Amino acid sequence: MLLDVIGHNFRVVREAARGRKVLAVVKADAYGHGVVPVARRLQSEGVDGFGVALAEEGLELREAGIDRAILVLNGINGGAHREIIAAGLTPVLYDIAEARAFQAVAEDRPIDVHLKVDTGMGRLGVPVDDLPEFLRDLRACPAIRIAGLMTHLSTADADPAYVAAQLGEFKLAEGFVRRFGHAPSVRHAANSAALFRHPETHFDWVRPGISIYGYAGSDSVDAPLRPAMRWRTEVLRIRTLRPGQSAGYGRSFVAVRDTQLATIPLGYGDGLLRSASNRGHVLIRGVRCPIVGNIAMDLTTVDVSDAAGATVGDEALLLGEQGGAVLDAGDLAAAAGTIPYEVLTNVSRRVPRVYLNR
């Protein structure tokens, strides 16, 4: 992992935010990059806070010495309300039962929360039509202080009209919240795609995730981001397949000519998506070599016939730059029929992470 690239991407994000505070989303082990090293680098760069999905992720950051604001985006599940308060984590609230649970452990101290409203994502959040009833019920929880108001945009990468509709709902929700006597000091909605495509969504904070790691979240964005993950292994074996011989489970690849086949010690157990079988590529000696045969749990076979001189011990690169050639998470995602987010977060913990500043 290239921590200097994380720093570079953060500076690109901060410039795009135009003075708004930046809450870097580091959920799912910082999108597979390693949450503690990434958070430490971002803290040194001056990030204003972090977004995590789970309380456990926030507690891991606190134990690692991270002292910035930490917002638990998915709310609190499992009854650890007292521990969340003690760790200084800020919960996202969207359920009145959770408000009552925090009230029960408040001990006459105010508890700051960020209220999430559902403006069209259809997952978490108080639907705007239900907000008045929610706010009336919240009066029974005087310790709960709505410090922030937030929503999540579902089509910031593709559909400006729906973004506008969601913003209309968000403004309606803010009106309800203020009429009920609450005064949130921050509002936030912008994910990575909205950060670059929709400045009208920036409000007080922005919440970039994928852009911190080098991807803009939309194909239409031209920003100087650079991928921070370089995923490598080495060639384990070279052999020649004769016409009619096959590679891997199911014989999904059968050689039609003499084929130089490299076996690399990496498979779906390491996070290489099996759906990239016979579709993805690996860089060896600067050549894009096709994956052939079905990707297995621990091993993958690659056609290196065009990589002249390929031999055991050569670097085999899944993501990154080699000899002027580049593979990124978008390439692997296209081969696997998915999105870069899944490619990055799928890299398993059995893959060693090495952190470089250069």
CATH number where 110 lies:
3.20.20.10
The reply to whether 37 and 69 lie within a common domain is yes
Range of the domain at 176: 3-213
Choose the catalytic residue: 27, 94, 215, 341: 27
Check: CB of residue 126 under 8 Å from CB of residue 118: yes
The reply to whether 187 and 295 lie within a common domain is no
The reply to whether 277 and 166 lie within a common domain is no
Beta strands in the chain (DSSP E): 21-25, 49-52, 69-72, 90-93, 111-118, 126-127, 144-150, 186-190, 205-206, 231-234, 237-241, 246-247, 253-254, 259-264, 281-284, 287-290, 300-303, 315-322, 325-327
Q: Could you tell me the maximum CA-CA distance found in the chain, to the nearest angstrom?
A: 78
Model confidence pTM above 0.85? yes
Q: Is residue 357 part of a domain?
A: no
Mean confidence (pLDDT) of the chain: 96
Helices (H) and strands (E) in the chain, counts: 11, 19
Decide: residue 214, CB within 10 A, 0-12 exposed, 13-18 middle, 19+ buried. buried
Q: What is the pLDDT of residue 316?
A: 98
Amino acid letter at 224? P
What CATH number is associated with residue 257? 2.40.37.10
Q: Is residue 183 part of a domain?
A: yes
Q: 100-112: b or e for each residue (b if 16 or more CB lie within 10 Å)? A: ebbbebbeeeebb
Segment 342-346 long-range contacts (CB within 8 Å, at least 24 positions apart): 342/273, 343/273, 343/319, 344/31, 344/32, 344/33, 344/210, 344/213, 344/229, 345/28, 345/29, 345/31, 345/32, 346/32, 346/271, 346/273
218 pLDDT exceeds 80?
no
The reply to whether 127 and 273 lie within a common domain is no
**pLDDT tens sequence across 135-160:** 999 999 999 999 999 999 999 999 99
Name which of 250, 252, 316 is nearest 286 in CA terms.
316
**pLDDT tens sequence across 76-89:** 877 889 999 999 99
**pLDDT tens sequence across 272-300:** 999 999 999 999 999 999 999 999 999 99
The reply to whether 141 and 25 lie within a common domain is yes
Q: CA angle 132-138-144, nearest 5°?
A: 130
Q: Over range 254-265, report the average pLDDT.
A: 97
Q: Is residue 111 part of a domain?
A: yes
358 pLDDT exceeds 70?
no
**pLDDT tens sequence across 28-68:** 999 999 999 999 999 999 999 999 999 999 999 999 999 99
Q: Is residue 222 part of a domain?
A: no
170 vs 349, more confident: 170
pLDDT band of residue 330 (cuts 50, 70, 90) is very high
Lowest mean pLDDT among 136-150, 211-225, 245-259, 330-344: 211-225
Count of domains in the chain? 2
Catalytic status, residue 27: yes
Q: Of 213, 241, 256, at which residue does a domain stop? A: 213
Catalytic status, residue 249: yes
The reply to whether 280 and 164 lie within a common domain is no
CA distance 20 to 290: 44
Q: Is residue 30 part of a domain?
A: yes
Q: Is residue 353 part of a domain?
A: no
Q: Is residue 356 part of a domain?
A: no
β-partners of residue 291 are: 302
Check: CB of residue 118 under 8 Å from CB of residue 131: no
Q: Over range 106-112, report the average pLDDT.
A: 91
Q: Is residue 235 part of a domain?
A: yes
Angle between helices 160-179 and 131-138 (to 10 degrees): 30
The reply to whether 198 and 288 lie within a common domain is no
**pLDDT tens sequence across 125-141:** 999 999 999 999 999 99
